[in-house]
Amino acid sequence: MSDRRDLEIGETPLQSEHPAGNHIVIQHGPRLFSVYAHMQQGSAIVAVGDWVQRGQVIGRVGNSGNTTQPHLHVHFTDAWPALRDPAGSYFVSQGVPALFWGVQVLRDGNVFKLNGSTPLEFDIIVSPNDAP
């Protein structure tokens, strides 16, 4: 889905908005899907059925859906059924933990390297050039 408008920062989303806004779902295996949500309107570079490779650009960060500020929501899930109402896919699937290796996070003003662990709720993933 890539046709939802980007909200102004702080704007309250309409109840009719898909929670993920513009989003891409990638199937990695029979019971593993990654969801990339709140993307910029019209920015999806991949389409249904495309194969993607590690490091490939798939779209741009935006502010669409149930959000108040630009960011990329990424999560993993065990299912993504093709329902008449695609928002229902969130409610009939279970989240799957994501483990990160060699990633730096900013936590409470300090930078930590993750190896085989999951970022905490308020961690910010940073590149080596962005670390304080």
pLDDT tens digits, residue range 67-108? 889 999 998 999 887 766 666 777 788 888 888 888 899 999
**Residue 103 is part of which domain span?**
99-132
108's tokens:
């409470």
Digit-coded pLDDT (tens) for 31-61? 999 999 999 999 999 998 999 998 899 999 9
90's tokens:
């969130």
For residue 77, give the nearest of 126, 25, 118 by alpha carbon.
Answer: 25
Cα 15 to Cα 131: distance, rounded to the nearest angstrom: 37
**In terms of C-beta distances under 8 Å and separation of at least 24 residues, what long-range contacts does 116-124 make, across chains too?**
none
Position 28 in a domain: yes
Position 113 in a domain: yes
CA angle, corner 128, sides to 122 and 132, nearest 5? Answer: 65
pTM of the model: 0.78
Number of independent structural domains in the chain: 2
